Amino acid sequence: MLKLDQVDAGYGRAQVLRSVSLEAKAGEITCLLGRNGAGKTTTLKAIMQVIPLMSGAVYLESSSLSERAAQDVARSGVGYVPQGRRLFGALTVAENLDVGRFTRPQDSMVLEEVFELFPRLRERSQQRANTLSGGEQQMLAMARALCLRPKVVLLDEPTEGLQPSMMEAIRNVTRTLRERGVAVVLVEQRIEAILDLADHAVFLENGQVVETVPGEALRDTPQILARHLGV
């Protein structure tokens, strides 16, 4: 579904990613793991073309996303939920969702479908985003990205700072996306939040992919986590 082929990318002249190749398949959760500063967020930004590639390519199905504008990448089927959520705080829940649907109104999710996934947002549809709890804000950020019915969803630390019940709600929606055939790319610091979700894990170190393992290996072989994350 989504493929990175030997991607080099960074900020200005500072190269962060070095020849990163990975694949995220439909109906699977691919976890990007690595220590602080390993390049996980930078990988998501390179997929979205928020930062330009120095070399290599990113493909969605067979079409190249390289050198497209970020909003074109979103329109062509990649939903991005960045760290920190980036909501419009002064707008209501419903208005934030309208922004999500604005670029492709004809086949975007109707509000009813979004609210089925996130019932809590239905009750708060007229509430301003900046008055929502952290967990509700994360739900809104995910809901907004899902409005365009993406084929691929990139989630950057979606459970960061959330209490367990909210964390579980986010994890459940992530599972639902997998069941619906979406390719999910998940960045998480908290291993316990992804251990049972991962279909594949890709370990990054200093901007390079150092190992890719299936989810079962992650669960059955604790040495893998110890080796790469020191946990």
Ligand X SMILES: Nc1ncnc2c1ncn2[C@@H]1O[C@H](COP(=O)(O)OP(=O)(O)OP(=O)(O)O)[C@@H](O)[C@H]1O
Tell me the H-state helices in the chain: 40-48, 70-75, 93-102, 111-117, 119-123, 134-146, 164-179, 191-194, 215-220, 222-229
Query: Number of residues in contact with ligand X, rule: CB under 6 A?
Result: 12
Q: Which of 11, 55, 103, 110 binds ligand X (CB under 6 A)?
A: 11
Q: Does 36 bind ligand X (CB under 6 A)?
A: yes
Q: Does 158 bind ligand X (CB under 6 A)?
A: no
SS3 content of the chain, % helix, strand, coil (to 5): 40, 30, 35
Question: Minimum distance from CB of 112 to ligand X (Å)?
Answer: 35
Considering the complex, state which of residue 56 and residue 100 has its C-beta at the smaller distance from ligand X: 56
Q: Does 81 bind ligand X (CB under 6 A)?
A: no
Considering the complex, state which of residue 11 and residue 102 has its C-beta at the smaller distance from ligand X: 11
Q: Are 195 and 31 in contact (CB under 8 A)?
A: no
Question: Minimum distance from CB of 48 to ligand X (Å)?
Answer: 13
C-alpha distances (whole Å) from 174 to each of 90, 140, 169, 177 are 27, 14, 9, 5
- Using CB under 6 A, list all residues that contact ligand X: 11, 14, 16, 34, 36-42, 189
